[in-house]
């Protein structure tokens, strides 16, 4: 799992690339929290455009990011989510808590 970050006007975008499973989830959570703590955004956009596979580990990542963003008074948005991860998000019900563009 590769992650690239860009921040502009308190909107932090994390672009995820590769397969998101339990094997990579811990590292991804750590990196995402570091990026959030560095740029203190009001909006976090998780860009799934490059994610080729995701299981329920992705839900845990989003939940953790949402918790951190709530502490900062901000929000999380999921962007460019391909069909397979989208189905996992929808089955989990997390789309009721987090906006999906």
- Contact stretch for another protein (CB under 8 A) within 9-17, 35-43, 71-79, 87-95: 87-95
Question: At closest approach, how far in Å is the CB of 58 from another protein?
Answer: 8
- Indicate whether 93 belongs to the interface with another protein (CB under 8 A): yes
CA distance 79 to 76: 10
Interacting positions 20-39 with another protein (CB under 8 A): 21-23, 25-26, 29
Q: Classify 55 in phi/psi space as left (phi over 0), alpha (psi -120 to 50) or beta.
A: beta
Q: What is the DSSP string of 7-72?
A: EETTEEEEEEEEEESHHHHHHHHHHHHHHHHHH--SEEEEEEEEEEEE-THHHHHHHHHHHHHHHT
- Write the interaction track for another protein spanning residues 35-74; mark x where CB under 8 A is met and - where it is not: ------------------xxxxx-xxx-xx----------
Of 11 and 50, CB closest to another protein:
50
Selected binder of another protein within 32, 46, 88, 98 (CB under 8 A): 88
């Amino acid at each position: 799992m590769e992650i690239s970050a860009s921040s502009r006007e308190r909107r932090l975008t994390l672009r995820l690339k590769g397969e998101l499973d339990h094997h990579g989830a811990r590292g991804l959570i750590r990196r995402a929290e570091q990026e959030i703590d560095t740029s203190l955004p009001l909006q976090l956009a998780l860009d799934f455009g490059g994610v080729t596979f995701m299981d329920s580990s992705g839900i845990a990542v989003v939940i953790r990011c949402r918790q951190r963003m709530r502490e900062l008074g901000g929000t999380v948005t999921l962007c460019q989510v391909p069909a397979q991860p989208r189905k996992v998000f929808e089955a989990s019900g997390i789309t009721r808590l987090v906006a999906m563009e």
